[in-house]
Structure 1
Amino acid sequence: MTALSVTGQVFMVLGALIFISAAAGLWRLRDVYARGSSVATAAGLGVVFVTVGAVLTDPEISSLIKVALAVALQLLTSALGAITIARSAALSGHPFAPGTDIRALTTHERTP
């Protein structure tokens, strides 16, 4: 085993642990907004760790290009998707968890 291979395996295990923590967050967190944040974080970081780990175990230029593109697209789209889902939930009137400070949301007018 090479050092790159071991590092790649460690990255993949860390990515899997991030996914497991996000899955636990789906049960533990109180509302759709916190759950969405948990899933978006896992999508962003977990996929990055797993794909980078995969390319480290089999380092080739073509794999590196594919992973770089996948990581860039994943980081851009996971945050955007989470924001869109949270905004849709807020605009549809989905309740916030008790104790959530929503003063910043109520100062702006809602658009139809």
Structure 2
Amino acid sequence: MTTVLEVLGQVFLLAGAMVFILAAVGLITLFDPYTRASAVATAAGIGVGFVVVGVVLLDPSVSNAVKAVLAIALQLVTSAIGGMAIARGAVLTGHDFEPGTDASELHDLHDPGDEPDAR
């Protein structure tokens, strides 16, 4: 059973590494900050999940499993929030979208700090 867990752990670690490599390639090849942010946020969530599961399979214990669940949950939440914050910052600073992107819902988006004071 230990050998099976070790093999599965190594497979998960390699899968996580491959996700990170694909995200790095995406950062180089994708054209606008929105798709780049999406690639990084997705890789952060999935890649870290694979790596953490792989580590738990290599050193299985209840305490490690609890730590892994907590780490994966926090990573999924923070990577999603970080990706949305980066994309929103790009929209608010006026970065162009890749040609063919439908941004019609964003034409009214503005920074609340630009509103005049209501006195």
CA distance in 2, matches of 1:50, 1:109: 38
- What are structure 1's unaligned runs of at least 5 residues? none
Q: Are positions 1:95 and 2:117 aligned together? A: no
Q: Cα gap change, 1:88/1:109 in structure 2, threshold over 3 Å: closer, same or farther?
A: closer
CA distance in 1, matches of 2:109, 2:32: 23
CA distance in 2, matches of 1:104, 1:90: 12
SS at match of 1:2: helix
How far did 1:99 drift? 2.1
Q: Which residue of 2 aligns with 1:37?
A: 38
Aligned pairs for 1:65-104 (under 5 A) are: 65-104=66-105
TM-score by length of 2: 0.88
Aligned pairs for 1:52-63 (under 5 A) are: 52-63=53-64
Larger Rg: 2
RMSD: 1.1
How far did 1:109 drift? 4.3
- What are structure 2's unaligned runs of at least 5 residues? 114-119
How far did 1:95 drift? 1.5
CA distance in 2, matches of 1:100, 1:86: 14
Q: Which residue of 2 aligns with 1:22?
A: 23
Q: Which residue of 1 aligns with 2:13?
A: 12
Structure 1 residue identity aligned to 2:90: A
How far did 1:92 drift? 1.1
SS at match of 2:97: coil
TM-score by length of 1: 0.93
How far did 1:58 drift? 0.7
CA distance in 2, matches of 1:109, 1:70: 34
How far did 1:61 drift? 1.4
How far did 1:97 drift? 1.7
CA distance in 2, matches of 1:75, 1:109: 26
How far did 1:80 drift? 0.6
